[in-house]
């Protein structure tokens, strides 16, 4: 490898918004990374599911599409 072209690979502290923290190695400057989700709080890893309001989105789409169809019918 060429000298002085690669970023420094240092120990980094990763802190999640849930309060969980762990140590890893990274090329990130500053030695710390803040993340919104981690394996301790992500729904995929915890088995907890979040309910999304998709019915509201579907109804909104159907209303919008009905207006387009009404214009085409005229």
Strand order in the sheet with 10-16: 21-26, 10-16, 32-35
Domain assignment present for 54: yes
pLDDT in tens, 53-73: 666 788 888 888 888 888 887
71 assigned ligand-binding residue: no
Q: Which domain holds residue 49?
A: 10-73
Residue 4 lies in a domain: no
Q: What is the CATH number of the domain that holds 41?
A: 4.10.80.400
5, containing H or E segment: none
Q: How many helices (H) and strands (E) does the chain have?
A: 2, 3
Question: In total, how many domains does the chain have?
Answer: 1
User: pLDDT, tens digit, for every residue of 33-59?
Assistant: 999 888 888 877 777 776 656 667 888
Is 70 annotated in a binding site? The answer is no
Q: How far apart are CA 22 and CA 14, in angstroms?
A: 5
Residue 65 phi/psi, 5-degree rounding, is -70, -35
- Please indicate, yes or no, if residue 2 is contained in any of the structural domains: no
Residue 1 has pLDDT above 80, yes or no: no
Q: Tell me the two tokens of residue 42.
A: 């992500």
Predicted local confidence at residue 16, as pLDDT? 93
């Amino acid at each position: 490898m060429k000298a002085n072209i690669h970023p420094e690979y240092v120990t980094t502290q990763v802190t999640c918004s849930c309060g969980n923290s762990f140590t890893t190695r990274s090329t990130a400057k500053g030695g710390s990374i803040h993340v919104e989700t981690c394996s301790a709080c992500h729904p995929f890893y915890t088995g907890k599911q979040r309910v999304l309001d998709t019915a509201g989105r579907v109804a909104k789409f159907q209303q919008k599409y009905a207006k387009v169809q009404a214009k085409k019918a005229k």
